[in-house]
Amino acid sequence: MNQKEIRKERADILRGEDSQSSGQRVIIPASFVGGPRYMKERQQDALAFVTSYGSPDFFITFTMNPQWKELQEAIACTSKGSVQPCDRPDLVSRIFKLKVDALMDDLTKKHIFGRVKAHLYSTEWQKRGLPHVHILLWMEHRVTNDLIEKLISAEIPDKTKEQRLHEIVTTNMIHGPCKGYDESNALGCQGKHGSRQKCGKDFPKVCRDTTFFGNNGYPLYKRRSVGEGGHSFVKKVKGQAVTVDNSWVVPYNPYLCLKYNAHINVECSNSIKCIAYVTKYVNKGCDRILFTKTGDSDTVNEVKNYQEARFVNANEATWKIFKFPIHKSYPAVFTLDLHLEGENEVFFNEHLSEAEIKKKISKDTHLTAFFKLCAHNEFAADLCYHQLPNHFLYDNKNSVWVERKTRSSALGRIRAVTNKTVELF
């Protein structure tokens, strides 16, 4: 709404130039939900959690089930004729939001996996339209092998003893079998032109009697073979009957599957190796279908580049129209400015007077206010810059740090710096 008026420029450049002709126009700030800067900020926030708490203990993916009873009843009550869930994205978004809230309450307030000290989640949409969330949990106590076997299962339940769970798992938690799967061939998937290739998710898995952690940071879950007490069932794949055993089961939590009747993949991770992939995957942002290249002399129009070639389905559109959150996390992450002397970025309006612009330039940043705080506060002088938000609040109006009355769990994060800016780096 303010693209024609708002501009961005470094303070040192702005001092020596005419403010009416300087500054970058048409920018998408990090406050714009879903924009490239916003997604980058969320990824950096996730890494701030890793800095403070280590790698996440659980990585959970919760996917919408179009066969939910609530959704089918709502469609029947509000629609006429043959209507599918894809025809009512408003109902899909509202019901999935309620389910996500209930799931997060189970995990963070009812502590079904144990007490959680930090968490975050990100909402995404498949091209077919169904929404899903990726959830990362950091627990107060590290997860052990014994606890993994109690919380996570990768086996088909006994149909005679757990009929309902057996039905849900065999419907929602089976990977494939992949197209063209052949039990006699080590390569389980059929690629282009009929060639054989390995499954991208490494299915079928190797059966084993116990759970232990592998080299990639994820456990190798207990999956008993049929001859050693495991179960199997027959599934039709492209009209062909295929016997499916525990090697095709996606890891799940029995309680969550029974309660939500959906695909809820629960993984435990104990290695820092997987965190870079996880944080990027959770915050990768929207799909794009095209790209364009502009000349070096052209003005970069970030808004135009963002709007062009984006893929937005109806469910994503309704989710944003309802103003449902795409990301949520706890505790809060406070982003700290980092710049060389006089090179802080200044956002200004082209209608401001020279005096008002000079006032903006002279205003303290997080960093310069920290320096001034250290000059008269001995406690602050002993803190690292990123530790400051845990003990002090930043007063934006007066550009000063104020000591917190109570201890906070807020995390501080210094803005990422690339080695291209040599001096700053």
Residue 123 lies in a domain: yes
Q: Which residue has the higher pLDDT, 306 or 317?
A: 317
Residue 224 lies in a domain: no
- Residue 61 has φ and ψ, to the nearest 5°, of -120, 120
Lowest mean pLDDT, pick from 144-153, 277-286, 325-334: 277-286
Of the three residues 280, 307, 330, the one that is the final residue of a domain is 330
What average pLDDT does the segment 373-380 reach?
A: 92
Residue 302 lies in a domain: yes
5 alpha carbon, distance to own chain's centre:
33
Q: What is the pLDDT of residues 3-40, one digit of tens each?
A: 556 666 666 555 555 545 555 555 677 778 877 778 88
Identify the pLDDT of residue 370: 93
Output the pTM of the full model: 0.81
55 and 98 in a common domain: yes
148 alpha carbon, distance to own chain's centre:
23
Q: What is the pLDDT of residues 132-163, one digit of tens each?
A: 998 989 998 888 777 888 899 988 898 888 89
423 and 281 in a common domain: no
Residue 148 lies in a domain: no
Residue 111 lies in a domain: yes
The full DSSP string for 154-223 is -SPPPTTT-HHHHHHHHHHSB--PPTT--TTSSS-EE-GGG-EE--TT-PSPPPBSS-EE-TTSSEE--B
How many domains in the chain? 2
Residue 303 lies in a domain: yes
Residue 296 lies in a domain: yes
Identify the pLDDT of residue 7: 65
Give residue 69's domain range.
31-142+270-330
